[in-house]
Structure 1
Amino acid sequence: MPISSHRPATAGPHRVRHRGTLLAAAAAALLSVAAVGCGDGAASGSSAGAGGTPSPPAVATSDSSGDSANGATGTTPAGTQPPAPATTGPAAAPSATTKAANPQAAGSSRCTVTGLKMTLGRGDPGAGNVYYPLDFTNTTSHACTLDGFPGVSLLRGDGSVIGKPADRTRVKPSAVRIAPGQTVEADLHTLNQGVKGDSCWRKPTLIMVYPPGSTDSMTLATSNPVVCGDTFDVGPVH
């Protein structure tokens, strides 16, 4: 039988090398896929929630002013209102009632000894009583007020008191507004000698007077009044 010139194909060296190349490429591809799979798992694991479900990314919202709602400034928590801005305008002007209640604002502050002149008028006897007008003149350029009884004592030349200070009468006092240059008075009262006994106090050298509401005194050189019957009183300023 004739021998054929064609032989069965056998794997040559070049086919072996080709197969090795294909296997190496397939192995590299598998390694690449495995590496990608590991990378995706790590990334997804960093963003997954407690239940394994990925959390959505935080999104900053903006209000109408354009400031971020999650920012440090320009935010207001839901359900709250910002405090009203403090006003720094001028204080309200005092009312007319307030001014009227303030004597100084009304131009009628209390008269003081530095703004008064004191004189003692002549005695006016009548029916056994003697009255001496004790006058106060406003020497300032503004009105002032006296309200109540003056305190009156008669003094010797050495400053000691004769008898006792004048008692107050039962007349109800009222405030008296004294215009600049105006004079008001308070009445000193005693008795004629013999109406109530025959004794009289000695003549004074000075009279010392505290105007109503004042802790400062005024003195005047005078020999009147001569108090008799231990009766010496003073009325309110009028």
Structure 2
Amino acid sequence: MPISSQRSATADPQRVPRRRTVLVAATVTLLAAAAVGCGDKAASGSPAGTTGAPASSSQAATSGTPGDTAGGTTTGAPEATRPSAPAATTPSGATPGDAKPQAAARCTVTGLKLTLGRGDPGAGSVYYPLDFTNTTSHACTLNGFPGVSLLRGDGSVIGKPAGRQGGAPAAVRIGPGQTVQADIHTLNQGVKGDSCWRKPTLIMVYPPGSTDSMTLATSNPVVCGDTFDVGPVH
């Protein structure tokens, strides 16, 4: 074989290293380009759902998320759309404070104590306070004149029942344990004749508005001059 043919068939030991160098350089170039590309992606954007800068503080304050606060006030729906508490209403024609307490029930004989005070003479007349005391735990009212009669021991009436003296009555509210009175009136002996009724054994009283009576053992009043009156409860 000719010497030239042997050289062409045998690899040139100097050409192999040069080819490898070219390949390595090309590979490095490609890697560098890839690295630059990756860097551009990282700088230009983010994965879906995380793009963009974080919300600013003003956006967070108006996001509408429950529990977000701005300036100490809970945020949410715009002020114009928030439901407001219903305004308090007052019945037509009424103003606060106009309501009046319910009237107390009328006093009954089962809730009253009856007493007769000492006579008070003056200017020819004698007045005896007839007292009514509320013995219950609740208030009650009396309105008007009591019915009063003087009785003998056998229950018969002495003279006649008391007449009415005084102006128009007004309802009187009696709290628990409180006492009101009506005044029995007669005359001193000799002011109008010399005759007087006999001393009573009992006094029978109908509280105003009641059809039930109360009795009390007493020897007063001694009625003289046929004058026997009672005023309204006050």
Q: Would you say 1:178 and 2:174 are equivalent positions?
A: yes
TM-score scaled by length of structure 2: 0.57
- Which residue, out of 180, 183, 187, partners 1:191? 187
Q: Aligned equivalents of 1:199 and 1:132: distance in 2?
A: 19
Q: Aligned equivalents of 1:170 and 1:202: distance in 2?
A: 26
Structure 2 residue identity aligned to 1:220: L
Map 1:2-21 → 2, pairs under 5 A: none
CA contact (8 A) 1:143 1:178 kept: yes
Q: Aligned equivalents of 2:169 and 2:105: distance in 1?
A: 17
Name the CA shift for 1:141/1:107 in 2 (closer, same or farther; >3 Å).
farther
Q: Would you say 1:139 and 2:112 are equivalent positions?
A: no
Name the CA shift for 1:119/1:160 in 2 (closer, same or farther; >3 Å).
same
Q: Aligned equivalents of 2:169 and 2:125: distance in 1?
A: 21
List per-residue Cα deviations over 1:105-151 (Å, max 9, x = no partner).
82510000000000000000001100000000000000000000000
Partner of 2:223: 227
CA contact (8 A) 1:107 1:142 kept: no
Report the number of matched residues: 141
RMSD (Å), alpha carbons? 2.1
Q: 1:170 deviation in Å?
A: 3.3
DSSP-derived class of the 2:129 partner: strand
Q: 1:172 deviation in Å?
A: 1.4
Q: Aligned equivalents of 1:230 and 1:154: distance in 2?
A: 13
Identity %: 84
DSSP-derived class of the 1:131 partner: strand
Segments of structure 1 that go 5 or more residues without pairing to the other structure are 1-94
- Which residue, out of 146, 160, 164, partners 1:164? 160
TM-score scaled by length of structure 1: 0.56
List per-residue Cα deviations over 1:136-176 (Å, max 9, x = no partner).
00000000000000000000000000000000013210000
Q: Give 4+ residue runs of structure 1 displaced > 6 Å after superposition.
A: none
List per-residue Cα deviations over 1:185-220 (Å, max 9, x = no partner).
000000000000000000000000000000000000
Q: Aligned equivalents of 2:198 and 2:170: distance in 1?
A: 33
Q: Aligned equivalents of 2:167 and 2:127: distance in 1?
A: 15
DSSP-derived class of the 1:190 partner: strand
Partner of 1:81: none
Partner of 1:204: 200
